Amino acid sequence: MSVTKPDVHLRLGSHAEKEYFEKMVKRFDGITVGANLLEATPGATASLLVKLCAGGNRLRYQIDPMTYAFGGYVDPGSGRPRDDLDWIKSDQKVKGQKGKVVRAIKSSYLKLSAALGTVFAAAIRRGLAVQPDDLSSGTTRTLVCESVLEYQRNRIKSVFLGDSEYKDFADEMPQPEVLWAPYFYIEPSRRGEWTELTWLLAAESVSKGSGQPVYAVLCAPRGYLLDPAFLSEAAARLPETGVSGVWLWFSQFDERDASEAELVNFKKLVSSLCSSMAVYNLHGGYFSMALCESGISGIAHGIGYGEQKDVVPVIGQSTPTVRYYLPALHARFGVPDIERTFTSMGVKTPADFFEKICGCVLCRGVIASSLSNFAEFGERHLSTPLSKRAAQTPAAAKRCRFHFLLSRLRERDWIRGKSKDQIVADLQTSAEDWEGASIRDLSGQATQIARWARVIQA
């Protein structure tokens, strides 16, 4: 087993996050970009990637082809399966007809469907998600795998070639670190077909990979973590596909509120797959990283969120507050909640804070000589004169994100040198130290670390 595990990949969510990537991503192990973002802003995404990954920088990158977006999903409200592609649609104004709005596929996904061609373009044309039947023929699966792999190999190059000013960059851009097989959400009403297709598309992609490493994505509902039949099928069939690695994505699986049984089964799946491939959690956090002795290769997440993800995002959510990541508990809390712990944790001075809460350069800079400056992580304002509710200021959100990224790097570096017993002992110490504060000041919301310790130890 490599001693450098676990790796942490950062996922670029939007170009508003560019600053974090330019400042921090080189200290991480890779960057992941969704193909929908690449289609929404091809020039900006390609130039950011060439800046970070070409020449002497050599940061590794991967492109998530986002093929699941064209498949079926489960309506988050009703729990019913849907095939209408609605979650990749938006209300769009009709040109020349004032006030008229139509619901149509977002332009980024429309462009992606055209770039991927085959069943993706056909699904958009007919207004119905890709069905398992669309992929029943071996010839079609071959075409789909070829087009999805080709997209990852050449899309960035083609962006540069299409621009006379930047075309010289085309040859500088290295290939993605690995190629992702096309994948779809294993929508429960057609579980058998989607599961089988996951293996078939993975195996076909390996055969079309021209020697480049190919990873599968296992994208399933969280409930399948409690389904022994599914887990043993995955453990048996994935290795047969010949993939070099897998990104696990159990939709809505959140390490923090997961049951002990879910965590145990996740760990077992990692241990059983790792003998034949690299195993990553696509939206993971500290618990997944801490499975390094069980064979996990790493995790990915966004810059201040994204340690779990629903296949279908909840629509209409306002911008969430970026909470403060409490390193001892490996979880985020509201700033006032953390301030309440100061008394029980004996945090009276900035020096106490740096020792017991966080001593990263950002926290040292913000808190400086007064503990009351900690409130700056939660600073709120009315964002417009018409706003009714105060929201976190962009500066406060930025402080929380940089502190989180620095904490994550420190956690990764610490874990890399540690045995399972050391990781468990550290979690147990934190659980004991913080038990009182958690019960009193954090509404008891810190039970996960004791649970993690038990599962990692087992």
Q: What is the binding site for Zn ion (CB under 5 A)?
A: 358, 360, 363, 403
Q: Bridge-partner residues for 91, per DSSP?
A: 103
Provide, rounded to whole angstroms, the least separation between the CB of residue 328 and Zn ion.
12
Return the number of the residue (109 or 324) whose C-beta is nearest Zn ion.
Answer: 324
Task: Tell me how far, at minimum, the Cβ of 321 lies from Zn ion, in Å.
Answer: 17
C-alpha 366/C-alpha 90 separation (Å) is 40
DSSP letter (8 states) at residue 362: H
Q: Which is nearer to Zn ion, 331 or 358 (CB)?
A: 358
CB of 169 to Zn ion, least distance (A): 36
Cβ at position 27, least distance to Zn ion in Å: 15
CB of 267 to Zn ion, least distance (A): 29
Closest to Zn ion by CB, 173 or 360? 360
Give one DSSP letter per residue of 156-199, joined into a string.
Answer: HHHHHHT-TTTGGGTTTSPPPSSEEPP-----GGGHHHHHHHHH
β-partners of residue 374 are none
For residue 438, CA distances in Å to 160, 328, 336, 355 come to 52, 11, 13, 18
Please say which residue, 243 or 406, places its beta carbon nearer to Zn ion: 406
Question: Which is nearer to Zn ion, 399 or 451 (by Cβ)?
Answer: 399
Q: Closest separation between CB of residue 442 and Zn ion, Å?
A: 18
Closer to Zn ion by Cβ: residue 46 or 358:
358
d(CA 38, CA 48) in angstroms, rounded, equals 11
Least distance to Zn ion from the beta carbon of 402, Å?
8
Is residue 11 within 8 A of residue 300, CB to CB? The reply is yes
Q: What is the CA radius of gyration of the chain?
A: 23
The CA distance from 199 to 236, in Å, is 10
Whether the CB-CB separation of 248 and 280 falls below 8 Å is answered with yes
- β-partners of residue 431 are none
Question: Residue 176 or residue 304: which is nearer to Zn ion going by CB?
Answer: 304
Q: What is the three-class DSSP state of 20?
A: helix
What is the C-alpha separation between 53 and 7, in angstroms, rounded? 17
Residue 332 Cβ vs Zn ion, minimum distance, rounded to whole Å: 13
Q: Closer CB to Zn ion, residue 130 or residue 442?
A: 442
CB of 322 to Zn ion, least distance (A): 13
Comparison of 360 and 437: residue with beta carbon closer to Zn ion: 360
For the CB of residue 407, give the shortest distance to Zn ion in the complex, in Å.
Answer: 6
Any residues with CB less than 8 A from the CB of 380 and at least 6 apart, and which? 390, 391, 392, 393, 396
ω into 213 cis (within 30 of 0): no
Residue 185 vs 377, nearer CB to Zn ion: 377
Cα end-to-end distance, the chain, whole Å:
20
Which CB atom, from 10 or from 124, has the smaller least distance to Zn ion? 10
Q: Exposed, middle or buried by CB within 10 Å (0-12, 13-18, 19+), for 189? A: exposed
As measured in angstroms, the least distance from the Cβ of 51 to Zn ion is: 27
Nearest CB to Zn ion, comparing residues 104 and 361: 361
Contacts of 428 (CB under 8 A, 6+ apart): 450, 453
CB of 147 to Zn ion, least distance (A): 44
Counting other chains too, the contacts that 119-124 makes at CB distance below 8 Å and 24 or more residues apart are: 119/70, 119/144, 120/67, 120/70, 123/70, 123/85, 124/70, 124/85
d(CA 157, CA 174): 9
